[in-house]
Amino acid sequence: MSGMGLSLSEICCLFCCPPFPSKIAAKLAFLPPDPTYTFEDEDESRDKQKLVLSDKAEWQYSDREKENLEVFYTRTNRGNRISCMFVKCSQNARFTILHSHGNAVDLGQMSSFYLSLGTKINCNIFSYDYSGYGVSTGKPSEKNLYADIEAAWHVLRTRLGVAPENIILYGQSIGTVPTVDLASKYQVGAVILHSPLMSGMRVAFPNAKRTWCIDAFPSIDKIPRVTSPVLVIHGTEDEVIDFSHGLAIYERCPRAVDPLWVEGAGHNDVELYNQYLERLKTFVSHELTN
């Protein structure tokens, strides 16, 4: 979630011409990359798609392993068509992770990571691209973000038949925003918040102590309504979303488990530390099953 700074003129505009939370959201959060993939129809019925990755996707496996990826579209209640990806990582996985990715990637770039992570922690992974990302239609916005994950949730429940108690919501960076919103409405197996933010204004203005009417992404106000177990992960040297955000979110969680504070990690390298994978394995394989 880089590029959070605002110019003096933009700050003046924010406070002289409020409220424009959607504009704040767009300015602070969304950096969709050039698409790294396409969907192609497998037959004339157009009911089934296949994934075609570009070189930018950096697929790290053989073409045969792409057979573990099922891709399709679904439509949100705001009229956008969003792309979805189901990664079958394990034949005996109890949990499926509903993953909401960071702001500067798309499903093509995340596909290798999903296959690797799911295989290592014995979880299947379902993900989607936000409106305006990848081959999803529409434009990124806060309202679309919430509609996008709601559509992903319903297709995971209905098309793929996964029960709520077997779903782990996992949000990273900007992805923690729709994750917290959805988790505040539904009881699920668990929630993982990776580098979460309290709110958009609190990122742009670190001294902000309250949620203003022009604020966007007010996760700090929603997290007390999350009744599922929550694992918070944050790097102590995060240069984009300060570590204090993760700490504040953790302190407001009604059912927080032991967090993972990765000493010395920044915003984009937490996954490179050994304790990241070990903490996820313990959480999924032991804490959620006992």
Structural domains in the chain, sorted by start: 8-287 (3.40.50.1820)
Q: Provide block-wise average pLDDT over 10 residues at a time, the chain (290 residues).
A: 45 46 59 96 78 94 93 97 97 96 96 97 98 98 96 98 98 97 98 95 76 82 98 97 97 98 97 98 93
So what's the pLDDT on residue 124?
A: 98
Cα gap 118→53, rounded to integer Å: 20
| 9 SS3 class | helix
Q: State which amino acid sits at residue 149.
A: I
So what's the pLDDT on residue 23?
A: 54
Cα gap 36→150, rounded to integer Å: 24
| Strand residue runs (E) in the chain | 37-41, 49-53, 69-75, 81-87, 96-100, 124-128, 167-172, 190-194, 230-235, 260-262
Burial 62-98 (b: 16+ CB within 10 A, else e): eeeebebbbbebbebeeebebbbbbbbbbeebbbbbb
290: which residues sit within 8 A by CB, 6+ positions away? none
Catalytic positions? 173, 238, 267
Cα gap 143→217, rounded to integer Å: 10
pTM of the model as a whole: 0.90
So what's the pLDDT on residue 255?
A: 97
So what's the pLDDT on residue 14?
A: 45
So what's the pLDDT on residue 26?
A: 54
User: Are the beta carbons of 219 and 230 closer than 8 angstroms?
Assistant: no
